[in-house]
Amino acid sequence: MLYRSLGQTGLKVSMLSFGASSLGGVFHEVDEPDSIRTVHVALERGINFMDVSPFYGLTKAEIVLGKALKSIAREKYILATKVGRYGHAMKDFNFSAPRVTASMDESLKRLGVDHVDLIQAHDIEFGDLSQVIGETIPALRKLQKAGKARFVGITGLPLTALRTIVEATPIDTILSYCRFGLNDTALTDLIPVLKKHRVGIINASPLGMGLLSNRGAPNWHPASEAIKETCARAAAHCRARGASIEKLAVQYSLTNPDIATTLVGTANPKEMDQNITWANEPIDQILLAEVLAILKPVHNVSWPSGRQENN
Ligand code: NAD
């Protein structure tokens, strides 16, 4: 496993890392012992960075991750969680200082730790960005001063919203998802800005939250039918070549050295083990060229997320 510096934090994170949303059963029903084993496989094989949120499985992912981490020495992992998002509807977002401050303590309790390494405002495009800048981030900085979190970050889908915050106030990290993978590399355009502001870059969802998999995207997936169909054609092409789109997708997500780490999610220990093995193998350049050609019609085509003005 290769390790890369996360911006100016001084943290060295594994280039492939573990996203725990699957532990909340967000893709399909999951088994708790399998979930716990998945976390242990990730750590045993060199992954040192884990990301979760109270939103995933409506606190279930944090609870299960906490159980998995109970037997692991605290210095063995770098842990990130989030504040501000607590459900699917607009009313389930709350970026106010009192709510995010209380949320931090709730997460620490569920995770069974006295601090996290990174606390992130979750899906900022659903909030009023001026509140995120003027109230949420300062509240998270207070939590940092109190020793509850070592660093402060933001997460979201629209790159314009991430950029607005980064240019307005100092931020340690951003987490961008579904914008650096086989079908979408738009995050690349934001990298010069992020480097200028010395922001650590976390990429998430190398399988496009299921788009780039043989199982296909879950029902709730926000991508258009055109994106889903084109990705399914790319998956079928890999199958016909005796290869796996998942492998190509994981490997491709790790190809940009400016991206410190890519979070992949699963609650299946065998899949996690495979993902790590793939991360350490060279990419099949011929298959890659074929798949990129199939995906070209939907390249960098995303979907709206959050408030209209933040897209
Ligand atoms: P992903 O692209 O990692 O895809 C997850 C899906 O792929 C799951 O259904 C999983 O079972 C499947 N999968 C994983 N490895 C596989 C393998 N080897 N073979 C077959 N299928 C495999 O999407 P994700 O889980 O949404 O993203 C990863 C993590 O990134 C999340 O858990 C979360 O921590 C983070 N994330 C954060 C945000 C945010 O902050 N807004 C958004 C998206 C993701």
Is residue 177 part of the annotated active site? The answer reads no
176 Cβ below 6 A of ligand 1 = no
Distance from the alpha carbon of residue 291 to the mean position of ligand 1, in angstroms: 20
Domain ranges in the chain are 3-310
> Would you tell me the crossing angle of helices 60-69 and 32-44 to the nearest 10 degrees?
50
Distance from the alpha carbon of residue 22 to the mean position of ligand 1, in angstroms: 7
Closest among 76, 151, 155 to 119, alpha carbons compared:
151
* Ligand 1 atom 10 nearest Cα: 266
Ligand 1, atom nearest to 28 Cα? 9
Distance from the alpha carbon of residue 263 to the mean position of ligand 1, in angstroms: 7
Given this model, what pLDDT does residue 27 score? 80
**Residue 16 CA neighbour count, 13 Å, CB half:** 29
* Best mutation site among 79, 176, 266 for ligand 1 pocket (most ligand atoms within 8 Å of CB): 266
* Best mutation site among 86, 177, 280 for ligand 1 pocket (most ligand atoms within 8 Å of CB): 177
Distance from the alpha carbon of residue 9 to the mean position of ligand 1, in angstroms: 24
205 Cβ below 6 A of ligand 1 = yes
Tens of pLDDT along the chain (311 residues)? 999 999 999 999 999 999 999 999 988 888 999 999 999 999 999 999 999 999 999 999 999 999 999 999 999 999 999 999 999 999 999 999 999 999 999 999 999 999 999 999 999 999 999 999 999 999 999 999 999 999 999 999 999 999 999 999 999 999 999 999 999 999 999 999 999 999 999 999 999 999 999 999 999 999 999 999 999 999 999 999 999 999 999 999 999 999 999 999 999 999 999 999 999 999 999 999 999 999 999 999 999 999 999 99
Given this model, what pLDDT does residue 300 score? 98
Given this model, what pLDDT does residue 201 score? 98
27 Cβ below 6 A of ligand 1 = yes
177 Cβ below 6 A of ligand 1 = yes
Provide the pairing of β-strand 78-83 with 116-121.
Answer: parallel
Angle value at C-alpha 227, between 223 and 232, nearest 5 degrees: 115
**Given the residues 56, 77, 177, 252, the one annotated as active site:** 56
Q: What is the 3-state secondary structure (H, E, C) of the chain?
A: CCEEECCCCCCEEECEEEEHHHHHCCCCCCCHHHHHHHHHHHHHCCCCEEECCCCCCCCHHHHHHHHHHCCCCHHHCEEEEEECECCCCHHHECCCHHHHHHHHHHHHHHHCCCCEEEEEECCHHHCCHHHHHHHHHHHHHHHHHCCCEEEEEEEECCHHHHHHHHHHCCCCEEEEECCCECCECCHHHHHHHHHHCCCEEEEECCCHHHCCCCCCCCCCCCCCHHHHHHHHHHHHHHHHCCCCHHHHHHHHHCCCCCCCEEEEECCCHHHHHHHHHHHCCCCCHHHHHHHHHHHHHHCCCCCCCCCHHHC
Given this model, what pLDDT does residue 26 score? 80
Closest among 217, 257, 259 to 234, alpha carbons compared:
217
Ligand 1, atom nearest to 211 Cα? 2
Residue written as tokens 């991508």? 223
Burial code (b: 16+ CB inside 10 Å, e: under 16) for 17-30 equals bbbbbbbbbbbeeb
In CATH terms, the superfamily for domain 3-310 is NADP-dependent oxidoreductase domain (3.20.20.100)
